[in-house]
Structure 1
Amino acid sequence: MFAKKIVSSVISVLFLGITASSAFAAKSIEANLSNDTAQVEFDTKLASTSNLYVNGSLLYTEEDDNHSAIVGTLGFQGVETNNKTYRAAVGGRLYFYDYSSLNGAAVAVGGMFYHTIPGAQRLSAGGYGWFAPQVTSFGNTEQIYELGGRVAFRVIQNTDVFVGYRYLKLKHEKSGVKFNDPLEKGPHVGFRLNF
């Protein structure tokens, strides 16, 4: 039941972000896939601000052979970019998840940085990190952290394809439940449309 609420909430956020792109000046839509995982994300600038962005994502993973997981995010970041050579952001992100019989939420802080590789203007690389300690985690959630990186190639104007790696770990204190493995880890491929 909680999973359906998460899915409908994030899909609603994504739909509103995409359909209201003229009001919010949508900046990017992204999708990535691996053998076990699919993720969609949108990023848009808030109207009447110079560098405040809101983004949302939905990740579905079958990394665990016995259970699937849904992880949604909704974030606010200060972003600096020229959309040609670099993009940097610092801010906060709300994570909410449903995994097996567990669900919860946490507020993470972090950021990301991507830059074109000198001498290869169509090639860029970078990474990101998000961390939610116990003090900003709700219910039985103890901690969430996500790390990742990617190498992207601009195939046509404002459209990148990329190869990335993601590591997403969840700590939960529900008795009898042990998390020795990350919720999601491994390489993926995807594309990003920049507006």
Structure 2
Amino acid sequence: MRKLLPVAAAVGLIFGNHAHAIGLDLSFSDETANLELMSPISSLIENGGQASLGVFFNDVDDIVIHGKLIAVGNQTNSRLPYKLSFGAKLYGGEVDVEDGDDVDVGALAIGGAFDINLTEGFNPIDLALEGYFTPGITTFGDTESILEIGARLSIEVVPQAKAFLGYRLLEVEDDRNITFELDDNVHFGIRLEF
């Protein structure tokens, strides 16, 4: 329980002033779960941005806490409106290794996302692609690199809620050049905005 205290403090600092615009993203597969709180941060990034804090865990007791700070640009003047985002993602956690010598995960990654609105009108459908990578120079702990790639197809159920089907690949390479696949699953989820 004491390990969660820094996470709770970080959530309060990041989202305390933006309670009116909090979003919650929940995604699950048979083997994994990812929970993420999101908030716009237009006070820090002039034309719009987003901060998020989340936790990923799987059925083999791997756990990764992640935080993201991204700049977001909406392009609405095209036939199909789309959104581009670019920023940094911080990872910290632990990979459970069978021999009992757990791997400490830590890295600062760069990456971004492309989100396109495929339909207009009632119940719009979006397709989003996202990716983050970190080279060895921005890693710490036992981590040599992290690769995260994701895709999702979502539909707006009501204006404050989307349901989605997605895919996530999350790999951690340690300093012994052993790659651990934390996630390689199709998942379903919901995104709520308050």
TM over 0.5: yes
After TM superposition, the structure 1 = structure 2 runs for residues 168-179 of structure 1, keeping only pairs within 5 Å, are 168-174=170-176, 178-179=178-179
Which deviates more from structure 2 when the two are superposed, residues 117-126 or residues 185-194?
A: 117-126
SS of the residue 1:21 aligns to: helix
**Structure 1 residue identity aligned to 2:32:** T
Q: Residue deviations 1:90-130, cap 9 Å, x none?
A: 00011112112111310000001111114676111121000
**Structure 2 residue identity aligned to 1:89:** S
Query: RMSD of the alignment, in Å?
Result: 2.7
- The alpha-carbon deviation at position 16 of structure 1 amounts to 5.3
Assess if the C-alpha contact under 8 Å between 1:17 and 1:42 holds in 2.
Answer: no
Quick one: percent identity of the two aligned structures? Answer: 25
- The alpha-carbon deviation at position 139 of structure 1 amounts to 2.9
Assess if the C-alpha contact under 8 Å between 1:78 and 1:91 holds in 2.
Answer: yes
Give TM-score, length-normalised by structure 2. Answer: 0.82
Q: Residue deviations 1:14-56, cap 9 Å, x none?
A: 455555433xx53521111111111111221225243132111
Q: Which residue does 1:80 correspond to in 2?
A: 73
Unaligned ranges ≥5, structure 1: none
In structure 2, how many angstroms separate the alpha carbons of the residues matched to 1:33 and 1:11? 22
Assess if the C-alpha contact under 8 Å between 1:14 and 1:57 holds in 2.
Answer: no
In structure 2, how many angstroms separate the alpha carbons of the residues matched to 1:161 and 1:140? 36
Unaligned ranges ≥5, structure 2: 97-101
- The alpha-carbon deviation at position 178 of structure 1 amounts to 3.6
Give TM-score, length-normalised by structure 1. Answer: 0.81
Q: Residue deviations 1:135-176, cap 9 Å, x none?
A: 1111321000100101001111131100000000000025xx
SS of the residue 1:94 aligns to: strand
Selected match of 1:31 from 6, 26, 29: 26
In structure 2, how many angstroms separate the alpha carbons of the residues matched to 1:192 and 1:94? 21
Q: In the alignment, does 2:147 pair up with 1:141?
A: no
| Count of residues in Structure 1 that have an aligned counterpart in Structure 2 | 183
